[in-house]
Each structure stands twice: as C-alpha cells, then as structure tokens.
Amino acid sequence: MILKDKTQTSSSSIKLDAGIKQEHDVAFYLRRAYKNSENVLVLNDLRIEHDSESAQIDHLIVYSYGFIVVESKSIRGEVNVNEYSEWTRSYKGQWSGMPSPIKQAELQLKLLKQYLCANTEKVVGKFLGIQQGLGMRCYDVFCAISSDAIIDRSKAPKDIADKLVKSEFVTDALDKKMNFKKFYNVVGKIYDTRPNFSNEELQHICQFLLGNIQPQHKSNAVNEVPAAWATPIAMQPKSIDASQPLKQHAEINKPYIPVVKALAEAAVGQQISVQCKHCGDCSALSPQSGRYGYFVQCGKCGGNTPLKKPCPACKSQNTKVSKTKSVYRLNCVDCAATAKLILINL
C-alpha cells in the first residue's frame, strides 16, 4: 500500500532533474508491486527529525517484520565499488570518487531506529496490553541505481554487493529480504522467529512517521516513564454528585478491584523491552546494579537507565525489580502483576 507518493517536482538543474527522475522510477516500481499489499506499506520522500538531526529518506518500506530504507541514486555511466566499500563513478569518460549511498542510507536508518525507539509508547503501545519493543525488528537498506548505469561490484564485499541493485530489480531484492512465507509453507512459518507487526500496528506506525501522531516528549526524571496506554475507563476517577449521601460517595471512590485483577492476570508472563532513556537505543545494554537498584548502561552513549518502571497493568509506581540468574522481572506490589524485562546485549 502506498501511503505517501513521490511529489511531482522539477528543477532547472539537469543533475537534480536526473535524481528526481530516478526517485520517480523507483517509486513507480514500488507502486506496481505493493499498491494492493496490506502488510507492505511504502512512504516516499519522508523526512524525520530527532535529537537535533534530520534525515530525508527517498523510500521507506514498513512491513510486517521491520523497516527497509531504499536510497535512489541517479548514475549515468559506470560505477565501481572496491573491496574497501569505496565508490567511484565515471562521467563523460572522467573517473572520480563519490560518497557511498549505502552508508548514507545506513545513517538514515540509524536515525529512524533511534526516533522509533525513543517513541516506543507512541508507535506500538497504543495497540498492545503490554509495551513491546522495537529493537528486535528487522532494519535493512538498499541502493537503487539507474537502470542504464553499468555496475562493477566484482570486488565489493558481499554485504555491500547484495544491497546494490538496479531500479527494475528493487522489488525482487525487497521481496527476498522481507521473506514472507507462503501460506502452504507451514514448516517455514513455524521456524520463523521474527517478531511481527499486525496490519493495524503497521498503519499506526506510518501515521506516526507522517506526523499525524505527535512524538513523545520524554522527561529527564529517573523514574518517570510515560504510560503505554490510557487509563481504563473503569479505573478513572468518577465525578461526585453533592446531592448523594456520603455512603454513596464512598462506594463511588472504591477501587475497581475486578478490573485491576483482570489486568494483572493479563500482564503476568508478558515482556517489556528496555531501551536507553538518553539515546533511545534498544541494543548494547549492559545490566548493572547500584545504590538505587538495577539499571542498564548503554553501550552506545554510556548513559544509565533504571529498570524500575510503572506497572504495565495498573500504572502503580510501587514496583520492584527482581533478578533470577540472568532474568530480570518487574513486580508490582499493588496488583501482583509480573513482567519479564527484555535486554538486548549485542
């Protein structure tokens, strides 16, 4: 499904016009392949901003198992990638170096991942009873080169060569990477351990990226974590009518135990992904213990993030973190809910 098409633009520069045409060509192939797909969503010409950085993504594929950034590159003539992943190109018979579009796409993907992880509650928390993480999703990049270019990838590292395709083959490469199992491939589906998004979650993620859902403004407070979803109606405080007897007032303010109990039972055994509260990264987290309890240290920015969080069932701050061997759990004192804390240590 195409949620954001490529805007029709033109330029007075021949070079810029060639780049625009290349982006339109790739957008055409993506539209032909995925316009009727419910589990592959395409956002062309997407701009994101996070942590004072910005990225202009030519084409973003959001699918059931993750995200793929496709960088379009207009090249007339020849392009060569050597064993050091260095790029050179020819123009009117003259060779010169050029920045790696693969590296450019990887930087865009990194910022996208940080942006999503920093707003996990906004991205997937709306649909799940227990907050799920984004660190274990698939993140990949491709570079789509003009169809009339001559590509020499014979010396390029395999992981770079596999990411470099011509425009007309871009959807073939995407299909191979996304690797959707056929409905009759029961064995393949059983052994496919990739966490997946529902179609509703895919739509919500894309609406967030398009700016229809505002990003989460995080607090710097150590133990202050935004709620993953709205407080259930049955647990919200009710207004009191002054004309009612005091006994009725007491009944109105009485805790709604069945709802809390049901939520607690639903939360038992669930999982909560941990991410760095400073940079939003979900990987390279090293568990530690200190004066104020258990926490994780980020291998990317070096910041510390406490493992203590509000209860996912009743929102109570009265929680404790326990450790059994290498497994960490969040335990609520008020409603007895428990949830396993998932740490990604790469």
Strand spans (E) along the chain: 2-4, 40-50, 53-63, 66-73, 78-81, 87-91, 94-98, 138-145, 150-152, 164-166, 270-273, 285-290, 293-298, 304-306, 319-324, 327-332, 338-342
Looking at the structure, tell me whether residues 204 and 252 fall in a common domain. Answer: no
Looking at the structure, tell me whether residues 166 and 21 fall in a common domain. Answer: yes
**DSSP per-residue codes, 156-205:** S-HHHHTTEEEGGGHHHHHHHHH-PPPTT-HHHHHT-------HHHHHHH
Looking at the structure, tell me whether residues 167 and 68 fall in a common domain. Answer: yes
Q: How far apart are CA 323 and CA 334, in angstroms?
A: 19
Looking at the structure, tell me whether residues 196 and 295 fall in a common domain. Answer: no
Q: How confident is the model at residue 34 (pLDDT cuts 50, 70, 90)?
A: very high
* pLDDT, mean of residues 183-211: 78
Looking at the structure, tell me whether residues 73 and 205 fall in a common domain. Answer: yes
Render pLDDT for 264-302 as a digit per residue (tens, 0 to 9).
Answer: 444 445 777 788 777 777 777 888 887 678 888 887 777
One-letter amino acid at 44 equals: N
What are the residues whose beta carbons fall under 8 Å from the beta carbon of 59, sequence distance 6 or more?
A: 23, 26, 27, 30, 42, 43, 44, 45, 69, 70, 71, 72, 144
Mean pLDDT of the chain: 78
Q: Is 235 helix (H, G, I), strand (E, B) or coil?
A: helix
Predicted confidence at residue 183, as pLDDT, reads 60
Looking at the structure, tell me whether residues 177 and 257 fall in a common domain. Answer: no
| Structural domain count, the chain | 2
Contact in structure between 321 and 293 (CB atoms under 8 Å): yes
Alpha helices in 196-299 (DSSP H): 199-209, 246-252, 257-267
Distance (Å) of CA 244 to CA 234, 239, 251, 253 = 20, 11, 11, 13
218 within a domain of the structure (yes/no) = no
Render pLDDT for 160-193 as a digit per residue (tens, 0 to 9).
Answer: 999 999 999 999 999 999 988 766 565 566 667 7
Looking at the structure, tell me whether residues 189 and 330 fall in a common domain. Answer: no
Contact in structure between 57 and 47 (CB atoms under 8 Å): yes
Looking at the structure, tell me whether residues 107 and 167 fall in a common domain. Answer: yes
128 within a domain of the structure (yes/no) = yes
| Final residue of a structural domain among 190, 209, 228 | 209
Q: How confident is the model at residue 252 (pLDDT cuts 50, 70, 90)?
A: very low
| Final residue of a structural domain among 160, 189, 209 | 209
Compute how many other C-beta atoms are within 10 angstroms of the C-beta atom of residue 17. 14
Looking at the structure, tell me whether residues 270 and 325 fall in a common domain. Answer: yes
Q: How far apart are CA 226 and CA 121, in angstroms?
A: 8
Contact in structure between 285 and 297 (CB atoms under 8 Å): yes
97 within a domain of the structure (yes/no) = yes
Distance (Å) of CA 253 to CA 237, 246, 311 = 7, 11, 21
227 within a domain of the structure (yes/no) = no
Task: For residue 153, give its domain range.
Answer: 2-209
| Final residue of a structural domain among 161, 185, 209 | 209
| Residue in the structure block whose two tokens are 């994780």 | 296
One-letter amino acid at 185 equals: N
Looking at the structure, tell me whether residues 80 and 158 fall in a common domain. Answer: yes
Contact in structure between 322 and 333 (CB atoms under 8 Å): no
111 within a domain of the structure (yes/no) = yes
Predicted confidence at residue 17, as pLDDT, reads 79
238 within a domain of the structure (yes/no) = no
pLDDT exceeds 50 at position 234: no
Length, in residues, of the chain = 346
338 within a domain of the structure (yes/no) = yes
The helices-and-strands tally (H runs, E runs) of the chain is 9, 17
Looking at the structure, tell me whether residues 193 and 270 fall in a common domain. Answer: no
pLDDT exceeds 50 at position 156: yes
Predicted confidence at residue 187, as pLDDT, reads 58
88 within a domain of the structure (yes/no) = yes
Looking at the structure, tell me whether residues 306 and 186 fall in a common domain. Answer: no
* pLDDT, mean of residues 95-115: 93
Predicted confidence at residue 260, as pLDDT, reads 39
